[in-house]
Chains A and B, each alone.
Chain A
Amino acid sequence: MRIGFDVSKALAPRDGIGRYARELLRALTEIGASLELYGLPAEVGEAVARQQLGDVPHGLHWGWAIEPRAVDVFHSLAWTVPHAYRGPLVYTCHDLTFLTHPGCHLLDNKIHCLSGVLRANLAGAVFHAPSRATADELRRQLGISDEQTHVIPHAPARDLRQVGEAAAARVLERFGIGGAPVLAVGTLEPRKNLARLIDAYAGLDESLRQSHPLVLATGGGWKHQTILDRCTDIETAHVLSPRDDGELAALYSAAAVFAYPSLAEGFGLPVLEAMACGAPVVTSNRSSMPEVAGDAARLVDPDDTAQIRQALDDLLRRPDERNRLAALGRERAASFSWIETARQTLDLYLRVAAGSGPAAS
């Protein structure tokens, strides 16, 4: 079977979609799937593309010109549907927060995402949702049935693993951070609810803040000036950009608490990444986050600053509880695997190419 696979975001910075594309590509390659990679940007040469995609033995294609019958199924995984493609289509809908939380998104992004979902639906795509919560949202918002949707979860990146204390300390030192941090990871955008997290952190006792600086590890974002200004006001708050996954893993490993009180997620990959690195997790009791975290995290109402503060305060004062959550988290993260995700995805490709669609999942 020839599988068309969208790599337009696989060369992108370490955002969620880019990570999903790269990890899935790597795992599909390992289980022997034969892929044709589409959507490479014109300015990227073959050598660079091959190197950045991990030297995969697949056909490379620049742009979206897919010859008729060149592939048996195409997987769109970055909101775009190739215009000329008319064959069987698997469409990953990462989330519908552009509909449920429009104020958190930029206008062009909302137009782009809605256009992609509508075009995929019109093309008779089988939808892939990374969580049951996202599949439910597809049904609520667009009336897309469970028969048309298949849930396959993501998994923690395999290069993000707990590092030793000395290695973690070196990275903290490089960033000028003293003490085990309260860590938040992700794009600086309103949906991540960082303003409330900062308020909750600012409400902690001075002694706790001195021992546990707040660290926002990010690659940038939008509508984020308030967050940056707020951080400037707090002596023990840091905004930084890890250079690579090694530094990110060190930050996760060093964290006293990983805080992810997002307003809504389609999956919430950083929750699993933090767990894989042994960080105790505080996350939201909404959308996909309880589903991803299971019983291995402290869940809070993301609209309730006092509740976020209370959870941070409690965990920072109780090493025993942090250790308990960290152990549960490691176990939880280990139950997700990219190889298993790739197997399920390949199975979905086979069924969609054969015209049988997804079985209820």
Chain B
Amino acid sequence: MAMLPTLSLFLALTALAAAAALLVLSRRAAGARRELAERMHDQAMALDQRCDVLQQQLDVAARDQRIDHLLTLVDVSERQGRLDGAAARRLELYALELREEARLV
């Protein structure tokens, strides 16, 4: 019977120690989760910026292609007699000005 208080104290201390250990572990886990979340956020931001850059490059390339196509259309139209020489020169100049404008966008 005399052992009972000692045993109770031991059990209480053990429970306290276990709770403290759990607390430490859970804080560490929370810190790790936070770090992981921050890392994932940084990576997502970097990917987002990379996408913006790629999209811009794609837009520039698409515009260049379309302006090249305009020049081809002018050339073919002139060869097929659908545009006279004066109109073709004027439109060529216009398309080249569009290319300059595209560089500034």
Hey, which bits of chain A sit against chain B, CB under 8 A? 99, 102, 107-108, 110-111, 114-115, 118-119, 121-122, 141-143
Contacts and interface: CB of A to CB of B under 8 A. Distances in A.
17 contacts: A102-B94, A107-B63, A107-B105, A108-B63, A111-B98, A114-B91, A114-B94, A115-B66, A118-B70, A118-B74, A118-B77, A121-B83, A122-B77, A141-B90, A142-B83, A142-B91, A143-B87
Interface in B63-95: 63, 66-67, 69-70, 73-74, 76-77, 80, 82-84, 86-87, 90-91, 94-95
Contacts of B94: 99, 102, 114
Contacts of B90: 141
Contacts of B42: none
* Interface of chain A: mostly helix, strand, loop or mixed: helix
B66 A119 contact: no
Contacts, number: 46
Contacts of B69: 115
A118 B74 CA distance: 7
Contacts of B102: 107
Given A111-B66, A111-B67, A122 B82 contact: yes
A108 B62 CA distance: 10
B80 to A, nearest CB: 7
* Interface of chain B: mostly helix, strand, loop or mixed: helix
A223 to B, nearest CB: 13
Contacts of A141: 87, 90
A107 B98 contact: yes
Given A102-B97, A107-B105, A111-B63, A143 B73 contact: no
B68 to A, nearest CB: 11
Interface range on chain B (Cβ under 8 Å from partner): 20 to 34
Contact of B73 (A99, A102, A107, A118): A118
A115 B70 contact: yes
Contacts of B73: 115, 118-119, 122
Contacts of A114: 70, 91, 94-95
B36 to A, nearest CB: 37
A143 B86 contact: yes
Listed from nearest, the 10 A-B pairs whose CB atoms lie closest are A118-B73, A143-B87, A143-B84, A111-B66, A121-B82, A107-B101, A142-B87, A122-B77, A122-B82, A114-B70
A141 B70 CA distance: 15
Q: Specify which of B76, B83, B105 lies most central, judged by the most chain A CB atoms within 10 Å of its CB.
A: B83
Nearest to B90: A141
B70 A111 contact: yes
A158 B17 CA distance: 84
Contacts of B74: 118
Contacts of A119: 73
A108 B91 CA distance: 16
Contacts of A107: 63, 98, 101-102, 105
A266 to B, nearest CB: 18
A161 to B, nearest CB: 42
Contacts of A115: 66, 69-70, 73
A108 B63 CA distance: 8
A222 to B, nearest CB: 13
B83 A110 contact: no
Contacts of A142: 83, 87, 91
Interface in B11-41: none
Given A115-B73, A121-B77, 18 more contacts: A102-B94, A102-B97, A107-B63, A107-B98, A107-B102, A107-B105, A111-B67, A111-B98, A114-B70, A114-B94, A115-B66, A118-B74, A121-B82, A122-B73, A122-B82, A141-B87, A143-B86, A143-B87
